[in-house]
Amino acid sequence: MEPDLYSQELVEHLIEYATRLGADYVALLFQQEDSGSMVVENGELKAFEEGKSSGLGIRVLVDGALGIASSTKFSLQVLKKSVKYALGMAKASKKGIEKTCLSDIEPLRKTIESAWEKNPDDFSDEEKLKLLLEANKAAQLEGIVSSNTRMGWLTERRLFQSSEGALVETTVHMAGLAHSAIARSGERMESMFDSKSRCAGFEFIRDVDWQEFSSNISKTALKAVEAVTPESGTYKVIADPELVGLIFHEALGHASEGDLVTSGESVLEGLLQKKVASPLVTIVDQGIVEGGFYIPVDDEGVEKKKQVVVEKGFLRGFLHSRSSAMRLGCQSTGNARCQSFGDKPLVRQTNYFIEGGDRSLEELLEGIDAGIYLCGKGARGGEVDVGRGAFTFNSGPSFVIRKGELAEMIRGVSVGGMVLDTLNYVIGVGKDVSIQTSIFGGCGKDGQRARVGHGGPHILIEKMAIGGRS
C-alpha cells in the first residue's frame, strides 16, 4: 500500500470515529487498480489506455440499517465527512426496511497474492504493440472483412478492515488477449470471438502463440459462414466445457445465490437436500482453481472455501454472504462481492463448475448415431428466468454427431429448456475439466459486474431442445 494513500493509523482512526458516532459495525474497503489495454483493428492501432485508480469505501450498520459512502480523496477531513454521510444514510433508513444482520465469523488477518512472474512494465509499449499487430495480421485471411485484437492487463489490490478485527489484503494480477473476426461469403456474414485470460503476470502474454490463436478464430469464422443451420428438434447432445460453464453459471449459479433464495426468486427454494440432478452431477463454487479467477477472500473478509452446491444429484447448499447466511441460519460461504470500493457487496459466484467424471470425449461420443456437439466458443449469450429455471442460449459454431464421430459444422444453433430437467438428463460426464475467466468482462447483477470463472468437463445430455430452421 502506498503510505500517502492509506495508513493503518488512518483506518483505525476512522473505525473509532464511526463507532463513537453510533455505528454498531464498520467495514472499510480500500481498492487500488493499475490497468492497461491496447486494441488493433485491421492492422492499425485504435486504442491504447493505461490508468491508475484508488478509493475507499465505508460501510456501517446502525440498528441493522446499512449506510455506504466512498471517497477517492484520502485526507482525514474528507473521510470523516464520508463516515458521517454513511451514518446519516443508515439512521435515515432505519424505519420501514428489513434489518441487515451478519452471521458470526472469526476475524481473518492475512495477506494473499496471486502467482505472477513478469510485470507488464517490463515490456515496452513497442513490444506489446508488435505482438498485437502480428496476432492481428495472422488472422487477416482471405474472406475475413474485419479483424480486431485486444490485449489487457491488470493489478488490483483490495484491503478489507473491520471493527470486528478483520484485516485482509488481496492482490490479483491478470492478463489476457481477445480476438474477433467477421467472415463474408456472398451476402452472408458470420462473426467469431474468443479470448484467453489468466490470473498471472505478463508471462502469460509472452508464452502463448497468439498468431495461431487469432488465425484459428478466423478459420472458424470462414467455416461457419458456409455452414448450414440444423433442423429444430430434440437431440442427444454433448456440450463442451465452455458451453457447460456458461449455461450452468447463468441457469443454476444465480439460482443458488442465497439472497435470491431467501427472497423467493429462485427455482431452488425449498429443494435443499432433495434430488435436483442426475447422480453423475456434482457442482461446486471455489475461490481458487486452475484457470479461474483468483478469489481467496470475499469483500466481507470471509475466506472463500470450496462450497458444494449439488452433490451426486442432491442439492446440498447455497452461496452466501454473512447477511443471507444469517437469514437461513447457516455460515457465510465467502460469496459477498462488490464491483468496486463504493458498492454494496452482493451474493455472487466465484468459480462455479461441474466436477469431472470418468469418461473421455471419445467414450461419450460412442453409441450416438445422431446428435449434436455444442460448442461455447463464439456463443452469443441468452436469457435465463431464475425463478422458473428456464434458459435459452445461442451456442457458437457446433457440429453434427453421426455414428459416434464429429461430422459437418453447423451454425445458428440455439438451445433451451428447464435447468433441473437438463441436469436430470445428464447421462455421461467427462474427465476433462476446464475452467476459464476473462479480463474483458464479467457477470452482471443489480447493476454491478464481477469477474468470475466457469466451466466443467464435456457432458452428455440425453435430450435437449435445439432451435434452428423449421
Instruction: Go through the domains of the chain in sequence order and give each one's CATH number.
Output: 8-226 (3.30.2290.10), 233-467 (no CATH)
* pLDDT tens-digit map of 431-470: 999 999 999 989 999 999 999 999 999 999 999 999 876 5
Residue of 181, 220, 224 whose CA lies nearest to 410: 224
User: How does residue 98 score in pLDDT terms, banded at 50, 70 and 90?
Assistant: confident
Collect all residues with Cβ–Cβ distance below 8 Å to 156 and sequence separation of at least 6. 31, 32, 33, 34, 35, 171, 172, 174
Averaged pLDDT score across all residues of the chain: 95
For strands 351-354 and 283-286, give the pairing.
antiparallel
- Among 142, 66, 148, 150, which residue's Cα sits nearest to residue 102? 66
Residue 6 has pLDDT above 80, yes or no: no
pLDDT score for 53? 95
- Residue 382 has a pLDDT of 82
For residue 407, the cross-strand partners are none
- Say whether pLDDT at 335 is over 70: yes
pLDDT of residue 5: 59
| Cα separations in angstroms, 434 against 174, 285, 351, 370, 455 | 18, 14, 11, 26, 6
Element (H, E) at 248: helix 241-248
Percent share of the chain, pLDDT over 70: 98
Contact 249, 283 (CB under 8 A): no
Return the pLDDT at 470: 53
Closest CA to 408 of 237, 242, 226: 226
pLDDT digits (tens, 9 = 90+) for 407-436: 999 999 999 999 999 999 999 999 999 999
Predicted confidence (pLDDT) at residue 115 exceeds the cutoff of 80: yes
Q: What is the pLDDT of residue 4?
A: 47
The tens digit of pLDDT for each residue in 196-236 reads 999 999 999 999 999 999 999 999 999 999 999 999 999 99
Residue 197's pLDDT is 98
pLDDT bin (cut points 50, 70, 90) of residue 1 is very low
Contact status, residue 86 vs residue 68, Cβ threshold 8 Å: yes
> pLDDT, tens digit, for every residue of 372-418?
999 999 998 788 999 999 999 999 999 999 999 999 999 999 999 99
pLDDT in tens, 239-274: 999 999 999 999 999 999 999 999 999 999 999 999
**In this predicted structure, what is the pLDDT of residue 425?**
97
For the cut 70, the answer to whether the pLDDT of residue 134 exceeds it is yes
